[in-house]
Amino acid sequence: MTMNTVVKLARRPQGHVQREDFTITQEPLAELKDGEIRVATQYISLDPAMRGWMNDAKSYVPPVGIGETMRAFAAGTVEASRNPKFKEGDTVSGLIGAQSHAVSDGQNVVKADTSLAPLQTWVGGLGMPGLTAYLGLTYVGEPKEGETLVVSAASGAVGQVVGQIGKIYGCRTVGIAGGPDKCAALTSEFGYDAAVDYKGGWLADDLKAACPDGIDVDFENVGGDILDTVLAQMNFRGRIAICGLISAYNATSPVPGPYNFRSVLVNRLRVQGFIVFDFIKKYPEAYEKLGTWHKEGKLKFKEDVREGGLEAFPDVLKMLYTGENFGKLILKV
Amino acid sequence: MTMNTVVKLARRPQGHVQREDFTITQEPLAELKDGEIRVATQYISLDPAMRGWMNDAKSYVPPVGIGETMRAFAAGTVEASRNPKFKEGDTVSGLIGAQSHAVSDGQNVVKADTSLAPLQTWVGGLGMPGLTAYLGLTYVGEPKEGETLVVSAASGAVGQVVGQIGKIYGCRTVGIAGGPDKCAALTSEFGYDAAVDYKGGWLADDLKAACPDGIDVDFENVGGDILDTVLAQMNFRGRIAICGLISAYNATSPVPGPYNFRSVLVNRLRVQGFIVFDFIKKYPEAYEKLGTWHKEGKLKFKEDVREGGLEAFPDVLKMLYTGENFGKLILKV
């Protein structure tokens, strides 16, 4: 008999995620009720937001409870259906959790058209990261042709897509990433006009050299020193789209905000936080744009697919916060 | 022979403003050229922004140079005119500097209609502070009926007007000020629904009690601990209009940004800096609204007029940063 392998939250992490924060259990498969489908998971998305979901704190979604299945975006194949909208063999993606077999009422998944892109891309460039990049840049960053766009964590799942869309919009694009390999990929693979290595020791100077006309739009995934350095180089009426603040997610004591916060006043910046769920009505538009650009070859998606199955979930998740991954981090089940 | 008494910047201040940062000199009056007027200054506005103007740092206006007349809004009477738009006896207000007799080409002053309000009010409620309050609240804060509006430095020149306009817009208004006297005035004089004393020792608890439904709009004049406390209580999609960050203006070492900066992301806040000059095209609208509400008795302006003439300028200016003033601080010449 097939069993469901489930990653459950065992305890709330202190600081960095530990293996012991999770338990991995085997459970019998549940019987399907009318309207339900069972999805055999093939790819699980590892997302920076997961760290926040593990905290017992007010956030944009309720925390994952102790003993509950870890929340995760994933993609897989329908292996049983009692829902007329789905049939066996359909590929789907959605918020179905870190488990090998997910039962869904069909509300939290979409069909994943694998003629457009391989299934793994449906948790990446054509999944939440792609939607986040398109919607956040377009509707929060609001870049104009000829402006300078800076993206932090620029080789990550979201950042790589933001940079490419920035080029489509006619911006000068500058990516910030850690280490020479990622920085080389920013320009050679993702079309960034310039790359800045935040581990290089000269962040402010290097950023200034890469942005000779200052910064008009910052798509911020990191926060901390990077945001501080960006703030000091923002142009008048610049916009900062706060997509993530990953530098602080594992903090166990209060983290100071940006020392250059005064730039918000001096330069009349607009700093705005968002998450992809805010734009749910614009998903169809985003899928259409991303799919078209991808088909036209204007958008490429770099994925970092890790083997090891669900047993490896905790270790693979940790890579996100240390910068070990290179491209969209995905766990193959 | 009448002389012009001029307050000049003698050196750049370190930390708090000192008397020695200024020199006060006597100079012969200049001859008027065609198109110029001479204004006998009667009231000089003391504004928090002055501290920034004294720094040699990139800001929204160039710094005042060493040895130059200190920049200041002021109001007075035209005592000589070679400009057809102004005649002797006209009352005017504008950016004419901290001096007893200002020469102007008429570009930087407006006529001050003293049938609408006494001349001193033209550097306050009907001057830059009033414009700042109306334009910043309306176009940056964007409050909606029924929302909770918090204002820091709420009894100050700008804050007192913001609170009253917030009531006109149908908000619950909560003012933050220092000490029981100012807090009492917030509710008794400026129509605030509740007042919070930031010197009371229980800022977070007191603010929470005053804002049982959370905070939708923050009109921020102070920054520091106050902004941090507000950030922790902001509602989903709240707006923070950054008008000033007076708590940090005298700092001599880097000041950390708000520790609760993460709230921008979690609550999808919009944080936006502005200054009144950004809205120059909307001044006529603002004058019209402020004038009408004032005439109808919906807007009252509390002014703190200090005697002592220009000799007292440095000491009166210092009051702004220690919270000694109560209402719009004005120096009578």
With 0-12 / 13-18 / 19 or more C-beta atoms within 10 angstroms meaning exposed / middle / buried, residue A167 is: middle
Verify whether the Cβ–Cβ distance A259 to B261 is below 8 Å: no
Q: What are phi and psi of A34, to 5 degrees?
A: -55, 135
Shortest distance, CA A266 to any CA of chain B (angstroms):
5
As a three-state string, the secondary structure of chain B is: CCEEEEEEECCCCCCCCCHHHEEEEEEECCCCCCCCEEEEEEEEECCCHHHHHCCCCCCCCCCCCCCCECCCCEEEEEEEECCCCCCCCCEEEECCCCECEEEECCCCEEECCCCCCCHHHHHCCCCHHHHHHHHHHHHHHCCCCCCEEEEECCCCCCHHHHHHHHHHCCCEEEEEECCHHHHHHHHHCCCCCEEEECCCCCHHHHHHHHCCCCEEEEEECCCHHHHHHHHCCEEEEEEEEECCCHHHCCCCCCCCECHHHHHHHHCCCEEEECCHHHHHHHHHHHHHHHHHHHHCCCCCCCEEEECCCHHHHHHHHHHHHHCCCCCEEEEEC
Q: Does B256 touch chain A (CB under 8 A)?
A: yes
The CATH number given to A3-124+301-332 is 3.90.180.10
**Which residues from B are below 8 Å from A270, CB to CB?**
270-272
Is residue A105's pLDDT more than 90? yes
Domain-wise residue ranges, chain B: 3-124+301-332, 128-277
Average pLDDT, chain B: 93
Q: Does B269 touch chain A (CB under 8 A)?
A: yes
A266 vs B59, B228, B254: nearest CB: B59
Check residue A213 and report its DSSP letter. Answer: T
B255-286 pLDDT tens trace:
888 999 999 999 999 999 999 889 989 988 99
Query: Which CATH architecture is the domain B128-277 placed in?
Result: 3-Layer(aba) Sandwich (3.40)
Q: Does B267 touch chain A (CB under 8 A)?
A: yes
Q: Does A244 touch chain B (CB under 8 A)?
A: yes
Q: Does A273 touch chain B (CB under 8 A)?
A: yes
pLDDT score recorded for residue A1:
66
| Window from A150-154, A243-247, A248-252, B95-99 with minimum mean pLDDT | A248-252
CA pair distance B69, B9, nearest whole angstrom: 7
Rounded mean pLDDT, A253-275: 92
Is residue A293's pLDDT more than 70? yes
pTM over 0.80: yes
pLDDT score recorded for residue A70:
97
Please report the ipTM that was assigned to this predicted complex. 0.82
Contacts A–B by Cβ distance under 8 A: 93
Shortest distance, CA B149 to any CA of chain A (angstroms):
19
Verify whether the Cβ–Cβ distance A272 to B273 is below 8 Å: no
Q: Does B209 touch chain A (CB under 8 A)?
A: no
**Which residues from A are below 8 Å from B261, CB to CB?**
223, 245, 255, 257-258, 261
Verify whether the Cβ–Cβ distance A257 to B260 is below 8 Å: yes
- Kindly identify which residue of chain B lies nearest to residue A279, measuring between CA atoms: B268
B84-103 pLDDT tens trace:
999 999 999 999 999 999 99
